[in-house]
Amino acid sequence: MATKRKKISINKAQVDSVVKVALLGFGTVGSSVARVLAASKFRGVELTHIFNRNPAKKRSSDAAKLVPASVVWTDNIDVILRSDVDIVVELMGGLNPVEGWLRKALAAGKSVVTANKQLIAYRGTSLAKLAALHDVYLMHGAAVAGGVPVIPGVLQGLGGDQVTKLSGIVNGTCNYILSRMEGGADYATVLADAQQLGYAESDPAADVDGHDARAKLCILSRIAMHAELNPDEVATQTISSIEAIDFSYAKELNCTIRQVSRAELDGKLVHARVAPMLVPLASPMAWSHGTQNMVIVSGRYGGDVVFSGHGAGGEPTAVAVVSDVLAVAQGCKTVELPVRKREVTGDFMAPHYLRFVVDDKPGIVSAISGALTTVGANIDSLLQRRGYPKHRLPFVVTTEPSLTSTIEHALASIARMDCMLERPLCLQMLEAEDKAE
């Protein structure tokens, strides 16, 4: 381990000499970071090392043409850890083996910049403590919403407020799929297009089932509401059950459908959920299309603040990464406020959209109404579009505001009715006066 090297302290930055940077990962984002650094020529910042599997192949790629010839390419992480680099930029993702590498980097006095949302969601607090112990930085501005400066905006711009609620669209893949379906495309076709364009992985479960957005919601809850949540306890719901008919019914309700991540502080409890939800057309979230991200942060004193922009893609994410690198290089200290572990529930008091597909026969609506009445929920409206066969009829019931758990309890009995051809679909409906109870 090199012993004579400059350390970037969180108390005083060494801005009068070169800050050396190593990249872990030279994929879409990593190559974009290298390109931004090469094109911008930031004074005092130098890319010196790149770690990646099969470095010879990466080095000969078109993406590497702007990488300085002096950069050391390696597939041996120890080369990075034993080097005199000041900042390790991690863009590989996942927990293992990345967590172990970054812990060693921090312990060796190297600051870390990462876009790894799973790592920060699950290990962010302990890694931050390790960074503080060794008087270096841990920065993760690109972990949520890519190039949209949500994290620095909340930390620096809203640190003086008491944030009580946040909601938003933080997964570009799901937003691309659902906004395309809003225009009439079917789920399977749009998913295939998203995979072809590189927006979705060959196994899209992390995106469409809400796990990616869940990690981001936990990060936002920590920095905005100072609430530490266990990601595994946050309720998620897949978007794969959404069909074209749901957008037709949503339009009749002056809504559209988006994957929404929402959290609300309620004393020592946090209500949190990631799921497709009906969003009023008047809401800013309904205006977000394609891979755009949007986050709405609600504070006790400052009211609502909206962050919006391109949340996916190599270059937007690279902007956030490089901004963190510059902040570290210049010794920019972030606001630090105490974080407390909180219990979490997926329950919200809200109207609900219930879509049923039935073999039509007399008494179905009465039976559904009875099941809802039994748990204390009331029907607000019933929608039935013409043109569908009686033996496979989709129709929708909306409820007055009720706890999600109450509606789900009623649906458990409704799903067992002989007339039901599919499992009923239940979506929360957002409205301005939504509140958790």
Question: Which is catalytic among the residues 65, 117, 216, 390?
Answer: 216
Does the annotation count 129 as an active-site position?
no
**Percent helix, strand and coil across the chain, each to the nearest 5:** 35, 25, 40
Task: For the chain, give the number of residues.
Answer: 437
Q: Where are the alpha helices (DSSP H) in 148-257?
A: 150-152, 172-182, 187-197, 205-208, 211-225, 244-252
Phi, psi (deg, nearest 5) at residue 48: -120, -25
Q: What is the DSSP string of 152-171?
A: HIIIIISTTS-EEEEEEE--
Q: d(Cα 29, Cα 350) in Å, to the nearest integer? A: 39
Asked if 263 and 272 count as a contact pair (C-beta separation under 8 A), the reply is yes
DSSP state at residue 437: -
Dihedral sign from CA coordinates of 255, 260, 265, 270 = positive
Q: d(Cα 315, Cα 392) in Å, to the nearest integer? A: 47
The torsion defined by the Cα of 275, 278, 283 and 287, in degrees rounded to 10, comes to 80
- Hey, which residues are catalytic here? 216
